[in-house]
Structure 1
Amino acid sequence: NVPEAGSEVQISKLASTGHGLIFTTSFGYMNPTIKAAKKFPKVIFEHATGFKRSKNVGTYSARFYEGRHVIGLIAGKMTKSNVLGYVASFPIPEVIRGINATFLAARSVNPKVRLKIIWVSTWFDPGKEADAAKALIDQGADMIFTHTDSTAALIVAEKRGKFGFGQGSDMSKFAPKAHLTGIIDNWTPYYTRRVREVLNGTWKPADTWEGFKEGMVQLAPYNKGNPLRKGI
């Protein structure tokens, strides 16, 4: 895990040691990637979730909001308190879209639902994420969403007898009772495709945004003990 503040040094180090294709996989790596790309014009860079491109920099992201719409529907149907809790990282477009998709979907099946948000200003800090989840539950939330990368919020939900949803991968083993389902980021097909293009000499900078249809966004298995499972 490379801190965003020092990422330009690490990206440049990769570029200067013979790596011809470099994936930079955090929104905060955007400007450092662009700077490194200017210094190493023969190296190809792929930046995740950003919006700045150049002759040797492509961008890619997933339609995460599609998955968040589904988990919003589930939460709206299952909540008993009508309070949903969202552990949010940074107020960037990806996260704002996720919040909106979740809330609008939940509201479509339960007009009484309210959504409480706590911003933790980090992608990965288990302590902060856990504290945020605890605070949301203390405020009445019985469904916990996370837009960060650790399992901390789910583990809190498990301990407190609430439900939650995974982020990025199948997190069910960390909270087998609380985890209802989750969003899986399946980058493998995209990475494979772009590597082949580099090897074939056909790579061109592009802005790729794929979702359920292309398999970039997937859902983790539904919790077998979920009473709503039959209706999904």
Structure 2
Amino acid sequence: MKRRTLLASAAAVALAFSGTAMAEDKTKVGFVFVGPVGDGGWTTEHNNGRLAVEEAFGDKVETVFQEKVPEGADSERVMTQMALSGADLIFTTSFGYMDPTINVAKKFPDVKFEHATGYRQSENVSSYSARFYEGRAVIGHIAGKMTKTNKVGYIASFPIPEV
């Protein structure tokens, strides 16, 4: 996950640089996090990607973030504020941010948006995801080999399409 987050962040920032009018302008990249930066999981890894972008691009990029943003109206407000404050690229890092991302992107056609795990896209909205199915397939195979009843089950963490 960490490597994929870094690669997605770096690729998106590179795309944002290609559209910047003047080479000496800083690209401002915003990150909307659903959890706290120190959660040890999803948000931590996205924040590690943010920090890697800062390290890789130095003074050519400025990053900003907002953590613990609930899905829904609050996320739309935060995204709008980031766009109004000059963000060139905004990462919306939760599936539940999909509709708010699309809504805000319509209002800010010059801002690029990268949405985690969603399926809706538009002219200025792309989505990214990890290959969650790979680990799940391995675990399923192991469970199948261990079962005494020839039955296995799966408990999904969240009721969303990627599960």
Is 1:148–2:97 an aligned residue pair? no
Contact 2:92 2:114 in 1 (8 A): yes
Contact 1:86 1:118 in 2 (8 A): yes
The total of aligned residue pairs comes to: 134
Unaligned runs of 5+ in 2: 21-25, 148-163
1:122-167: CA deviation from partner (whole Å, max 9, x where unpaired): 3xx2212111100111111120101222212243124311101120
Contact 1:71 1:182 in 2 (8 A): no
**Cα root mean square deviation, aligned:** 2.6
CA distance in 1, matches of 2:11, 2:134: 28
Is 1:76–2:13 an aligned residue pair? yes
Secondary structure at the aligned position of 1:185 is classed as coil
Unaligned runs of 5+ in 1: 1-62, 203-232
1:195 to 134, 140, 158: 140
1:155-212: CA deviation from partner (whole Å, max 9, x where unpaired): 312431110112024432xxx2112x4322333333333233223217xxxxxxxxxx
Aligned to 1:164: 113
TM-score scaled by structure 1? 0.50
Normalized per residue, which structure has more helix?
2
One-letter identity of the residue aligned with 1:93: G
TM-score scaled by structure 2? 0.68
- Bigger drift between 142-151 and 154-163 goes to 154-163
Larger Rg: 1
CA distance in 2, matches of 1:169, 1:146: 10
Change (3 A) 1:168 1:109: same
CA distance in 2, matches of 1:192, 1:177: 34
